[in-house]
Amino acid sequence: MRVTEEEDDRTSGATEAAECVELRAIRVQVTGQRFCSNRVSTAKYNALSFLPCFLFEQFRRYSNCFFLFIALLQQIPDVSPTGRYTTLVPLLFILAVSATKEIVEDVKRHKADQETNKRQVEVLRDGQWLWLTWQQINVGDVVRVRAGAFFPADLLLISSSEPHSLCYIETANLDGETNLKIRQALPTTAKLLSVTALRDLQGTLHCELPNRHLYEFTGTLRLANHEPLALGPDQLLQRGARLQNTKWATGIVLYTGHETKLLQNSSAAAPLKRSTVDQAANMQILLLFFLLVLLSLLASSCNEIWASNFGFQHWYLGLEDLPTSNFGYNLLTYIILFNNLIPISLQVTIEMVRFIQATFINNDLEMYHAETDTPACARTSNLNEELGQVKYVFSDKTGTLTQNVMEFQQCSVGGTIYSAKSDVVVNSSGMASSMVQDLTAKHSNAPYIREFLTLLAVCHTVIPEKDETNPEILHYHAASPDERALIQGAARLGWVLSSRTPETLTITAEGMEHRYQLLHILEFTSDRKRMSVIVRTPSGKIKLFCKGADTVIYERLGSAAPTGPQQHQQYIRQVTTNHLEAFAREGLRTLCCAVAEIPHDIYEEWKHTYHRASVSMQNREEKLADAANLIENNLVLLGATAIEDKLQDQVPETIGALLEADIRMWMLTGDKQETAINIGHACRLLNSNMELLVMNEESLDGTREVIGRWLSTRSEGSSPLSTTMASSAALVVDGQTLKYAMSCDLKKDFLQLCLQCRAVICCRVTPSQKAEIVEAVTIETQAVTLAIGDGANDVAMIQKAHVGVGISGMEGLQAACASDYSIAQFRFLRRLLLVHGASNYYRMCRLILYSFYKNITLYVIELWFAHHSAWSGQILFERWTIGLYNVLFTAAPPLALGLFDRRCTAEVSYRYPQLYKPSQSAQHFNVKVFWFWMTKALIHSALLFGLPLMAFGEDIVWSNGKDGGYLILGNAVYTYVVVTVCLKAALETSSWTWLSLLAIGGSVLTWFLFLAFYSHFWPSLPLAANMAGMSHMLLSSPVFWWLLILAPVTALLSDFSIKTLWNTMFKSFTDQVCEREINLQRSESGKLLDSQRRDSRTKLVETARLMRSVRNVFRRPNASSDGARGQTELELSHGYAFSQEEHGAVRQGDMVRAYDTTLPSRSMDKL
Amino acid sequence: MPDHSGNSQPSSVSRKPSNSAFKQQRLPAWQPILTAGTVLPTFFIIGVAFIPIGIGLLHFSNNVKEFVYDYTDCKSVENSNLSCAAILEMNITKNCSCVLPVNLTETFDGDVYIYYGLSNFYQNHRRYVKSRDDHQLLGTLGPVSNECDPFARYPDPNDPSIIKQVVPCGAIANSIFNDTLTLMREDGQLVPVLNTGIAWPSDKQMKFRNPPNSNNNLSEVYKGYVKPQNWRKNIWELDLTNPENNGLQNEDLIVWMRTAALPTFRKLYRRLNLTAEGYSSGLKAGNYILNVTYNYPVKSFAGSKRIIISTTSLLGSKNPFLGIGYIVVGCIVLLLGIVFLIIHIKYGKSNSEMTNVTPRSPYQ
């Protein structure tokens, strides 16, 4: 079942319009309700629909329709010059090959669907948990999902293993956000833990009709003996998300299969993508069709003129007695005669070549990721050559560029840099120092270190959990990956958070247990850019620990220092700033840490203020922030942390290579601006020479103004498209601004601005915005776009781009499934584009051009011959030899060109990204190239007909004086054509393997063998009477053999000379590189090349320095003062970034207070 | 798209692609580079080889002796005022003959062949080419093929009410060349010629056969059929002296049925009987007389008829084209070779410098 886009729009539109009217009523745990099955299908066909769908798909192609038309025409008696079945049989053969390919591909899809549908989940049936497959789940069922597992459908959370029936879900697949989200069941259902309790759960559930809004959900649950309960997104567990940090969760199935939010978002049937080359080829086919009609008209007009002027004089023809000699019939005859100007085998040759090219991609060991055992996978083969023309790459961040793994790398404490990893680090003065050493050695820094580590262990919302099997091992559950990294880092350094109760935190440090009483958690928000906790220390002091962006922390630093003279604090601040810059330079995410001791009286006073704020009914958020602001003061700077948001392997190198290949790279991420810019630097998308344009606008007018200002400044000095300009700017825009910028009237200007920038980063964008950007660029530039991503949030973008690439192998495979190509690592994109893309494009162009060429060469000869045969439409060749031309005698050379030819080796294409440019700019297949080949084909056909015509004279070409007949000339010409086009293929082959040799040599040989066999059919078989004895006659003629040398040499002389001339005088960069490589290979000094391989271990970009070039940062109007702007600049230069769930289902403070990890958690065994 | 999320079932079989040369596209490859320098030897070798070959082929062609006479407008013996063509135009059935002087200035050594040649005769017309019934020609007495229309069925000349099938049917057979050419010495003695061995043995064996069990009684076998409209003889009267050459197996018919490629063609008519006394070495130089029974009308379509007496070389009849072709192409190739030599001297050196590219070189 497939929900089309229109249907979906209609339903969602209807929901918005009349919410109260259209509702879905679900009876809990009642079977037999009529809803969509949870079985999903992405396959194109099933056994029944295959034939009609396949035929429909096939006959949407002009060429197949055309050949069907020809095949039908041939059934009209007395019209076809080539018999009745000479088109039908090849057509059927070709359809059979296509069908085989489709079946093979669809079986794969069926298997993939099967794998999903057969995944198992626990379902409550008849009072017990049964393991059932996903496809057996019905709406209304109660299911139980275990930790780490994916939700099989959209569920309503009933209860979970955690306190208050909380549960964490990871939605990276859905929206790409890195932090975990918290869901909480309704208190009424939260206590339904046991099987019996769940079994007795009865009631009705009303909710919206299926829609595509991921975070919207409203409904009511009417349980027996209960008031109706309001349901919201907090209870929704979407399919595609997975359960984390929670042992298990139970839920009622709300939406299934294609009605789930996830599938609604990607339910639009995968668009049929066609490559640019394909479209161009289709255009040429259309062109050839007109040429064909033109030729046919010309020839049949000539025939008409000849017949009416001279026809009746030629008494021996008996034309006057023939009924079917009018213009219309002749036109049809000629259309049939010339039909093969359009190569019938082209489509199938292309399909076969693509299929094998795809297997080359699938089998490339260089794109095989051993850790996850994932090879690259071409899910569609229609776009192989499109990979060679990519101009824009749109990349997701999380999971694509980054690993979504945070690691606490370094920290600066009290003015010294320590490693948080190996415990030894080279500090700025080059001296190795160790935090633990300094601690134990009573270094002057020791108090700072102690305080710093305490902060890390206390100031967070992480929940520790003892491993069930080994209590020594602690698992940390955190909504923020940063905090998790920090707490793990602190644990490594000896400050271990061992347990948490609603009121206290217990820390094991230096062999002792310290219990901190948790007084308040001042939550993190993006506006505050910090979080604080207020605790009562074991010694009874009240302390505030705060971590956040350096700008906000520095603002709140007090003038006094707890220990040491004030001067020391000043020193620390200065050094820490330098350290922050150093961290940012390495692309690390930084947070500043500070502490303050609060006198009891002030605390008591503040507590009331805070309490009032927390119970206020209006603007609670704002009031809480204000209250927090009051106490977060007079801080003492302890230091800073540096967390590495780990990039995938070789991301900077890959991006560098892509940029070098003139591919524009855009990063579209749902993540925050700071993180995005951080990663932009880390992966060298942004560099020191770039001007950074940051757009954060909150109104349409503001956006318009900024875009206008920018465009005018850009176009002032130099022309807007000058390359220096383009290379010097990077645009950073957030989702809100993007919404305005993509509105109708601004769209064009905005895109123009974007296209002038070398790199564009869009942050906080929704999946649909991603798709919108990709689509807009696709339309605006007409260039080939590629989108790469790993999560469900990238699916829309992947489907909209010309080529969609999915990252597979890690967790979610949504993107991979929707993609055209899936690779395990971002770095494989380089090989996919530069090696496979470029060579596939080159090969495909050669293949298409060659196919056109060979057909025109043969079939235009019919035109020349028509001039000698009274325009009667007689063919010069035997009808089946002509029919088999495309499927037998010249089928292999195009395959060889399409599969084995290459100009440079994979290594060279990989190493020289510039070699991508010719294919990117369509240099191998455009109108000029096409006509160049066509002209050659015309010249060849004229020579290949003219030379034998003259040499055979009046057909006496044997010493026995006998005369030959038209087929002697015909077969001789045919032989020369086959030999010439095969030699032409040889001439076009740059790289010879034994397979190319076999294909080209074999084709010629096949023809001769065929000739020998076919000449002996008659009279044993009622076929080819006119070929009887042909082989002996033809092969015994010396003229034939001498001409076999002369004709191809003459025809190819010009090609050979032009090619040589070109190679000598107008050598392209590609030629030079290849030539050099070959020469090197020959002299066996290939090592030379290796030595020139770039040192891939270059240092990361110097973020901080280059960040000073941020000159144009547009802030939101309400904060556009110079100070605020400076603040943003500073933040950018100091690499501040932090992820945390905000405004979530459960407030962070409440959430941590819900846990008492000293108690054993609810285990499943009890139920 | 479904969410094929989660790791697939852990399988013991690794999905690592196999490391075969084919799949990894690492088949050993040879990459020739065509530059002026590398192709120079090829050009010179081809040039140097082609010119002598051309001269040799030209020599062969020139050694062929050929006598051609266009007798389309020959004067009638019966009525010397008119040409036979004109007489035929008035009455197609009228007998007319010509006497043509044949003056051989040199001796025709070895095998000597007599051809008739037609021009502007479209034996390659689509309607004409297909207008035959190969099964009938193979001796099958079945219903005649539709391809033969409109030369497939005629009313019996004796009884017009009966429609009979034509043997051999079709436009080709109907329009068989029916002039009789007889070569005589000046003294009136016939030059001994053979009317067999002029068709391809394969044609004779595989394509043309009288019906089985016909033996000498062809007239009986074909009693139920009529001859083609334009024929003056019946099918069983084609060669009364040699039953092997009679009926459908008649070699004149077989030669005619092998349709020519171009509107100007020649067909083998007779060959000199070298075993006859005085002709073992060929046809001596001197004056001969050719008697033509002029039956075949070509004036209506502006055609012409020729008689050709010719020897052959290894390459067949006289045709200098192949030799000239080789010489011309050889010269062009040599010329190109010289041009490339110049280019090589001018550009060849800078090549080695140009190839000093690194991954950092800008793209040109």
**pLDDT, tens digit, for every residue of A310-321?**
888 888 888 776
Assigned token pair, A948: 């034998």
B267 and B260 in contact (C-beta within 8 Å)?
yes
pLDDT above 60 (res A361): yes
Phi (first) and psi of residue A1160, to 5 degrees: -70, 140
Does the annotation flag A524 for ligand binding? yes
Percentage above 70 pLDDT, chain A: 87
pLDDT above 90 (res B59): yes
| Shared-domain flag, residues B173 and B321 | no
pLDDT, average across residues A208-232: 82
Whole-number Å distance between alpha carbons of A1135 and A592: 11
| Shared-domain flag, residues B340 and B197 | no
Q: Element (H or E) spanning A598, and its range? A: strand A589-598
Give the residue with greater pLDDT, A832 vs B7: A832
pLDDT digits over A730-760, tens only?
Answer: 889 988 888 888 888 888 888 888 888 888 9
* Pairing status of strand B163-166 against strand B225-226: parallel
pLDDT above 90 (res A1089): no
Assigned token pair, A717: 């000095």
B279 in reach of chain A (CB within 8 A) = no
What is the predicted pLDDT for the residue at B72?
92
pLDDT digits over B254-287, tens only?
Answer: 999 999 999 999 999 999 999 988 898 889 999 9
| Shared-domain flag, residues B59 and B69 | no
Question: Count of residues for chain B?
Answer: 364
In angstroms, what separates the C-alpha of B27 from chain A's closest C-alpha? 6
In B, minimum Cα distance to A816 occurs at: B4
Does the annotation flag A770 for ligand binding? yes
What is the predicted pLDDT for the residue at A324?
52
pLDDT above 80 (res A1062): yes
What is the predicted pLDDT for the residue at A564?
55
pLDDT above 90 (res A943): yes
pLDDT above 50 (res A922): yes
pLDDT above 80 (res A697): yes
Asked if omega into B150 is within 30° of 0 (cis), the reply is yes
B258 in reach of chain A (CB within 8 A) = yes
pLDDT digits over A431-440, tens only?
Answer: 445 777 777 7
What is the predicted pLDDT for the residue at A617?
76
User: Which pLDDT band, with edges at 50, 70 and 90, does A1045 fall under?
Assistant: very high
Which of A952, A956, A959 is closest, CB to CB, to B314? Answer: A959
Whole-number Å distance between alpha carbons of A837 and A251: 46
| Shared-domain flag, residues B47 and B149 | no
Which residues sit opposite B289 in a β-bridge? B101, B184
User: Which pLDDT band, with edges at 50, 70 and 90, does A727 fall under?
Assistant: low
| Shared-domain flag, residues B73 and B60 | no
pLDDT, average across residues A100-116: 83
In A, minimum Cα distance to B13 occurs at: A373
The answer as to whether B31 is a domain residue is no
| Shared-domain flag, residues B280 and B320 | no
The answer as to whether B3 is a domain residue is no
Q: Does the active-site annotation cover A745?
A: no
CB contact under 8 A, B17 and A365: yes
Question: What is the average pLDDT score of chain A?
Answer: 81
Q: What amino acid occupies position A154? A: D
How many cross-chain Cβ pairs, A to B, lie less than 8 Å apart?
359
Whole-number Å distance between alpha carbons of A514 and A494: 13
| Shared-domain flag, residues B328 and B242 | no
B140 and B327 in contact (C-beta within 8 Å)?
no
pTM: 0.83
User: Which pLDDT band, with edges at 50, 70 and 90, does A228 fall under?
Assistant: confident
pLDDT above 50 (res A1120): no
CA distances from A1032 to A174, A453, A1014, A1047, B201 (A): 72, 97, 11, 21, 10
In angstroms, what separates the C-alpha of A927 from chain B's closest C-alpha? 22
In angstroms, what separates the C-alpha of A371 from chain B's closest C-alpha? 11
Q: How many CB atoms lie within 10 A of CB A217?
A: 21
CB contact under 8 A, A1019 and B354: no
pLDDT, average across residues A1016-1027: 86
Whole-number Å distance between alpha carbons of B17 and A368: 8
Segment of A180-184, A368-372, A1070-1074 carrying the highest mean pLDDT: A368-372
The answer as to whether B364 is a domain residue is no
A337-341, A914-918, A1093-1097 — which is least confidently predicted? A1093-1097
| Shared-domain flag, residues B55 and B115 | no
| Shared-domain flag, residues B180 and B136 | yes
B32 in reach of chain A (CB within 8 A) = yes
Task: Give chain A positions within 8 Å (CB) of B124.
Answer: 868-870, 872, 874, 966
The answer as to whether B9 is a domain residue is no
A238-252, A413-427, A1010-1024 — which is least confidently predicted? A413-427
Task: Give chain A positions within 8 Å (CB) of B150.
Answer: 318, 321-322
Task: Give chain A positions within 8 Å (CB) of B344.
Answer: 1064
pLDDT, average across residues A256-271: 72
pLDDT above 90 (res A1048): yes
What is the predicted pLDDT for the residue at A398?
79
pLDDT above 60 (res A641): yes
Q: What amino acid occupies position A678? A: N
* ∠ Cα A840 A841 A842 (to 5°): 95
Of the listed A106, A364, A396, A734, which one is catalytic? Answer: A396
pLDDT, average across residues B316-328: 93
User: Which pLDDT band, with edges at 50, 70 and 90, does A1104 fall under?
Assistant: very low
Give the residue with greater pLDDT, A978 vs A1165: A978
CB contact under 8 A, B125 and A906: no
User: Which pLDDT band, with edges at 50, 70 and 90, does B181 fall under?
Assistant: very high
pLDDT, average across residues A669-691: 81
Helix (H, G, I), strand (E, B) or coil at A1066: coil
| Shared-domain flag, residues B207 and B275 | yes
What is the predicted pLDDT for the residue at A4?
37
The answer as to whether B167 is a domain residue is yes
The answer as to whether B209 is a domain residue is yes
Closest by CA to A648, choosing from A823, A479, A778, A793, is A823
Task: Give chain B positions within 8 Å (CB) of A325.
Answer: 127
ipTM: 0.93
Q: How many domains does chain B have?
A: 2
A62-76, A161-175, A864-878, B348-362 — which is least confidently predicted? B348-362
B248 and B208 in contact (C-beta within 8 Å)?
yes
Give the residue with greater pLDDT, A426 vs A630: A630
The answer as to whether B7 is a domain residue is no
What is the predicted pLDDT for the residue at A1095?
33
pLDDT above 60 (res A1099): no
What is the predicted pLDDT for the residue at A1087?
42
- Which of B311, B330, B353 is the last residue in one of the domains? B311
What is the predicted pLDDT for the residue at A60?
76
Torsion, Cα of A558, A561, A566, A570 (10° steps): -60
pLDDT, average across residues B51-73: 93
Q: What amino acid occupies position B135? A: H
pLDDT digits over A31-51, tens only?
Answer: 777 888 888 877 778 888 888
Phi (first) and psi of residue A481, to 5 degrees: -65, -25
In B, minimum Cα distance to A135 occurs at: B2
Give the residue with greater pLDDT, A3 vs A69: A69
Assigned token pair, B258: 């092998």
pLDDT digits over A121-153, tens only?
Answer: 999 888 888 899 988 888 888 999 998 888 999
For every residue of A411-460, DSSP letters joined together read EEETTEEEESSSS-EE-TTS-EE-HHHHHHTT-TTHHHHHHHHHHHHHSS
Closest by CA to B230, choosing from B282, B168, B277, is B168
| Shared-domain flag, residues B241 and B326 | no
User: Which pLDDT band, with edges at 50, 70 and 90, does A273 fall under?
Assistant: confident
The answer as to whether B358 is a domain residue is no
Question: Count of residues for chain A?
Answer: 1167
What is the predicted pLDDT for the residue at A950?
93
What is the predicted pLDDT for the residue at B27?
85
pLDDT above 80 (res A1043): yes
CB contact under 8 A, A955 and B260: yes
Question: What is the average pLDDT score of chain B?
Answer: 86
pLDDT, average across residues A1079-1097: 46
pLDDT above 60 (res B357): no
User: Which pLDDT band, with edges at 50, 70 and 90, does A644 fall under?
Assistant: confident
| Shared-domain flag, residues B100 and B247 | yes
pLDDT above 60 (res A323): no
Task: Give residues 295 to 324 of B whose Cβ lies within 8 Å of A.
Answer: 297, 300-302, 310, 312-317, 319, 321-322
Whole-number Å distance between alpha carbons of A90 and A77: 20
* Pairing status of strand A474-477 against strand A496-500: unpaired
CB contact under 8 A, B27 and A900: yes
State which residues form the domain around B170: 65-311
Task: Give chain A positions within 8 Å (CB) of B266.
Answer: 954-956, 963
In B, minimum Cα distance to A40 occurs at: B2
Task: Give chain B positions within 8 Å (CB) of A965.
Answer: 258-261
What is the predicted pLDDT for the residue at A1108?
36
